[in-house]
Each structure stands twice: as C-alpha cells, then as structure tokens.
Chains A and B, each alone.
Chain A
C-alpha cells in the first residue's frame, strides 16, 4: 500500500475544501492526509447488526416558534463586520462569468 496520496488526489480534496495549497504543503499533505484517510478507512470493516442510523443525539419533535418579530441586528453593524464593504454593500470581485 502506498504511504502517500498522489499530488492529483491532494489537489482534488483541496479543491473540494476551497483551500489553495503551495508546493511545499502539497508534499506534506500527500503523507499526512493519507495517514488520516487510512485510519478513517477502518470504519468500513466495523460490523453492525442493523443499519439504523444515528445522525444526532437528539430526538425531540421539531417545534416551530411563534412567528413574531424579534430583536435584529442593524444592517450597518453587519456590513461593518465584512472585510471589504461600501455603504450598505459587501464588496466582492466580479462574480458573473467566473467559476468558484
């Protein structure tokens, strides 16, 4: 069994995770991600009697709250938290025609 992922495999998961990686990081991740993925892989071998799933430890029925107006943050406060903003708008580079 290989002790590392291929460069393409690392670049693929980095693309999924929306993280850029440098050449030096790439080499490190080839080994480290492989180590974690091998460990994760062991889940396949675990035997269970039935395939009932437990998504979260919480089983209370969903209850809707009253539809009443609550306290809200002002747009100004929220916009001010954005790294790049102008007036009541958040600034981003051109999106239309770009792939993200």
Chain B
C-alpha cells in the first residue's frame, strides 16, 4: 500500500486513527529511494536509526501534524551522530557532535530523518554537479540537471520519495532547483530560521528553508522550524505565527509588481510565456499587476560574487586539517597541513571561489570591492522597500531557463552565477522568496514563478502561491499521477 503520495493531512488522519504506523511511512520512503537510486539524491541514508525511531513512536500520541513524517535534510545541516559531508571530500568522514537548531526542532515534532541529501560542494554551485559524490539527476528527465545547490532535496521531493525536505539558500539554492524540478521551495526572511548548525557559506545571506510538493505542506514545515535562537545572534525575535493562515484566501485587489528586468531578454521565451499566462490568471481574479522599473537588479551577479565569495573565503578558513575533517597524511610542516589539506580536500569550484574571495578582501581591495558592494547592497534593498510601499508582492520567473543538460557548460566558471541572476537579489536584501511551479516548456520540463515578499511576509507569499497552485492545477508528478 502506498501512503506517501497522499497529502500530509490525509497521512496525518491515518496515523491518528491508527490505520497506519510511522514505520509504514519510513519503510515506504526507503523503498521509494531504493527504486529511484539512480537519481543520486542522497549522500547518506539514516536507515537503522529511522526504523528504530519509527518503532519508538508507536506508543506515543500523534500530537502534531508533522508527527511520524519522513524528512530529508540537506547535507550541510549538521545532524548529531549522522555523517554530514557538505558533499565534500573535506568532510567525507565528518560525524557532528550536536544537532543544528532546525534538526532539534523537527526532532521535537517527532519527524523522522530519512537521510542527508546531495548538493553542490559547500552549497557552491547552481547544478549540484560540484558534489564530490556525483550529480543528482532531474526526475523529469535524467539527462538534465537538478539545479542547485539543494539539488538532492529538490529531486527527492519531485520524485515523490517522501513529503518533506530542508534545503539552504544563499543565492537561490532552494528556489532555483525547486523551479527546475517542479516543486515548492521557500527561502524565508533572513533571520526567520536559526542558522546554528548550518555549515556557513556566506553568513549574511545563508538561510534554511522548506522544500515540498505543495504550498500548504511548505507552510506547515516552516511553522516548525522558525524562531529566535540564542545560538544565532542574527535570528529574529518574532512572535510565532501560523504560515498557513492566509492559504485559501482570494487575491482580489492584491497589488503585485513585475520588475521589467525580470521579463527582459535575459529570460527564455517559453519561460516568459508561462509567467505571462499566470499573470493573466491573477488579473482575471482581480489582482492588480503592474510592470515596474527597478534599479540595481542587473547588478545582482557582480554584487553576489563580491559578497558571497568574500564571506566564503573567510568562513571556509576553518577547514585547516587540524580540528576535524580531512587532513593530508604525513605533513612536513604546519604550512603543509593547511595548504595540501585544502588543495586535496576542496573541489575546483570551491577553490576558485575561496581564492577570488581572498583576493577581494586583501589589503586595499577590501575598500574597492567589499565596501562598494555593501553600498550597492543598501541601495538595492532601498529599491525593494520603495516598491513595497505600493505593492504587496513582487513576481517574476525563478530561473532564466528550464533545467539544462548535465553536460552543458561544465567548465564555465561564470555560468553558475548567471543561473541565479533572478533569485539572488532576495538574498542580498534579506527578503523572503518562494518558487511555485506554473507550467512546462516544450520538452515538458517545469517552469517556476518566483514570488518575493516584504520582510517577514511569508504568509502573504503562501497566499498568492496557493491561489496560483489551485487555479493552474498542474500535474506535478514526473511521469504522471501514479
């Protein structure tokens, strides 16, 4: 019997009525993952522990909607006693000593961790091909990329292995693979979710978020992971709220802005046409949709490179071959430990980014590049704030194209940055953004819409996204409903 393709609400009812047990869900999840093995969505499976936990839950009361639900965790979020590799040779054998805050939170809901998902090495990339363990494949067409960096999480949700996954998003790493794989992915407002235990890439932009097959379930998972955390100074002091509360409401009189840049000639025609169709649906429902000019959006890639690479070079200095992780054998000197460990432990993309980051932050360059980037970043955020004086939400495509071939542009060091041009302004400005599927291209690869909200307005994003989801009513199971 299959249960995991049902809605979470239905599964929850079955658990409550004792018609099924958590172990049924866990066994089904592992069976699905085994059947989809060639998608390479996972780096590590947590089989023994998950089965043990599921059995322990049999005597417990089903006290919340996420109780007993299987979940996959991106492999840069640390899990106590469970291998956490960041898809890097550097951490190939790294077993964390404690849980990330989000992991503590999902465990407190009695969710069951099924495994750790594949990703770009240290979340650096837009295709998941920089993984030390090989790239995950797109369930809609295995010759296509999954997107990245949270590629494995997007793939396992898209393939309907299980209902919930966590990803992380520094420049689009939740939303862009969500777009390529036809699922819902949310990057919450900076500070909404604790980053404690997320292996740092660019600390001023990193954020953990939920990846699911639909909007409602996405909001449910966000409900479970938010909140102030004393161990993350940048986590926000916010009242708890129910992110599902506006789902189902109509969008009449909602004011929506479409920046012209998001629909310019950098975007593929088929993608644009799907976005335009959706805009028509919104207008017909009484929403007010205006095209607007916004400055600085065209500087997103350059800006992202300075900030993300600068911060990355500093954050990844911790991988020194001394305290944990990989270390090159038989070093002749302390310098040898550092230099050779990092030469062999990191992959090419990571090394490129660290070196450019080190260059940007060295001596006079810090002023020329980094200080300037901080000023452009402030100006970009002001631009968003100006739009939100008149509009509820900003929309556009999530990605300029649909998922491309696994073999395309492998050696182009700029391609991975350009892939995220439409999504990284939200990271720079700290704003929440979500991908919702809105159609398919001629090869039946998914197209996604990006919805960006004002600070801490995730609930409003879910309102619009759920409306679109309901109106379009797309079949989002690769290969059709089973």
Contacts and interface: CB of A to CB of B under 8 A. Distances in A.
Contact of A17 (B321, B342, B372): B342
Q: Could you say which of A17, A44, A48, A82 has the most chain B C-beta atoms within 10 Å of its C-beta? A: A17
Interface in B87-139: 94-95, 97-98
B260 interface: no
B423 to A, nearest CB: 15
Nearest to B237: A60
B97 A78 contact: yes
A43 B354 contact: no
A84 B327 contact: yes
Q: Could you say which of A16, A35, A51, A54 has the most chain B C-beta atoms within 10 Å of its C-beta? A: A54
Given A43-B303, A55-B204, A100-B335, A37 B379 contact: no
Given A17-B355, A46-B296, A57-B190, A81 B413 contact: no
A93 B331 contact: yes
B268 interface: no
A39 interface: yes
A1 interface: no
B18 to A, nearest CB: 36
Contact of A52 (B301, B321, B372, B378): B378
Contacts, number: 173
B454 to A, nearest CB: 12
B55 interface: no
Interface in A44-75: 44, 46, 48-58, 60, 62, 65, 73
B333 A93 contact: yes
Contact of B362 (A16, A33, A55, A81): A16
Q: Could you say which of A58, A65, A94 has the most chain B C-beta atoms within 10 Å of its C-beta? A: A58
B379 A93 contact: no
B292 interface: no
* Contact residues on A (Cβ < 8 Å of other chain), bracket: 35 or more
B355 A29 contact: yes
B191 A19 contact: no
Interface in B66-87: none
B338 interface: yes
A58 B430 contact: yes
B326 A83 contact: yes
A10 B378 CA distance: 32
A77 interface: yes
B313 to A, nearest CB: 6
A51 B375 CA distance: 5
Nearest to A40: B305
Contacts of A99: 335
A95 B306 CA distance: 33
B324 interface: yes
Interface of A: 10, 13-14, 16-22, 28-29, 32-33, 35-37, 39-40, 42-44, 46, 48-58, 60, 62, 65, 73, 77-78, 81-84, 90, 92-95, 98-100
Given A32-B413, A46-B376, 14 more contacts: A13-B362, A17-B351, A18-B317, A19-B339, A20-B339, A22-B343, A39-B305, A43-B372, A48-B375, A49-B379, A55-B374, A56-B203, A60-B191, A90-B322
19 contacts: A10-B355, A13-B358, A14-B355, A18-B339, A19-B339, A19-B342, A19-B346, A40-B309, A40-B369, A46-B302, A48-B376, A54-B377, A56-B430, A57-B381, A58-B236, A77-B97, A81-B95, A90-B322, A92-B334
